[in-house]
Amino acid sequence: MNQGSAPGWLPQGTRVYAVGDVHGLDHRLADLHFAIATDLAERPVAQPLLVHLGDYIDRGPDSRGALARLRAATLPIINLMGNHEAMALAALDPFATRDDAALWLDNGGAATLRSYGADPRDRATWAAIPDADRAFMAALRPSLALGGYLFAHAGIRPGIPLDRQAVTDLLWIREPFLDHRGPHPAVVVHGHTPAEAPKLLPNRINLDTGAVFGGPLTCGILEEDRIAFLFA
């Protein structure tokens, strides 16, 4: 496996497998989890951690399967919330407005509903999404700080301390985060904005390679001051 220098660092003995946006591609997630398990078996480490960067649902054909796979994972794991999980939770809330539902459906929510056998046009059928999956999404955390990294779905707002970042920015931000060239308090590992290949910059690492649009599903392997990649 080819490794290169990373812009951040992790404590010795810690390895993070960070996975970009899944968007209902459970078969790709299964392949990537297998590759991660294989790598870990070949190169054991004291403290492995699997971090998913959010957007497990919508657009792709098997959101239900992707959530089930995340819930059944056996490695030490932290799952972060993406803006698509936030949209789903808002739309599925008993007090959701028509705008909440429309926003979700316009952004791939119909594919998620169909994966549960629900009809996007008939809200009465949306109860097919079980409470366990709704609770799983509601419990997702917005960010993770570890070593010299901050893991978040979309990014951060430049100039704001990490402990004061708004959840909406962690889940949704693009600009001014993407164009910011100065340092952040930590190197931000994120997804949310598709790119043709992983983007490795001095202040951030983008692991969303547009799997649902035909690109690979990407895992960044972070260890000490090094980085490598797995693709499915």
Q: Measuring CA to CA, how many Å separate 232 from each of 43, 111, 164, 210, 211?
A: 19, 21, 35, 12, 9
How much is the CA Rg of the chain, to the nearest whole Å?
17
Calculate what percentage of the chain has a pLDDT beyond 90: 98
- How sure is the predictor about 2, in pLDDT bands with cuts at 50, 70 and 90? confident
What is the arithmetic mean of pLDDT over 177-199? 98
153 a catalytic residue:
no
Number of other CB atoms surrounding residue 170 within 10 Å: 28
pLDDT of residue 151: 99
- Which position has the token pair 């492995």? 48
pLDDT digits (tens, 9 = 90+) for 127-179: 999 999 999 999 999 999 999 999 999 999 999 999 999 999 999 999 999 99
- Which position has the token pair 């316009």? 106
- Which residue among the candidates 23, 33, 52, 84 is catalytic per the annotation? 84
Of 70-74, 81-85, 110-114, minimum mean pLDDT range: 70-74
Q: Which runs of E-coded beta strand occur in 7-94? A: 14-19, 47-52, 77-79
Q: Is the pLDDT of residue 188 over 90?
A: yes
Calculate what percentage of the chain has a pLDDT beyond 70: 100
Instruction: Assign 86 to helix, strand or coil.
Output: helix
Q: Is the pLDDT of residue 1 over 80?
A: no
pLDDT digits (tens, 9 = 90+) for 89-107: 999 999 999 999 999 999 9
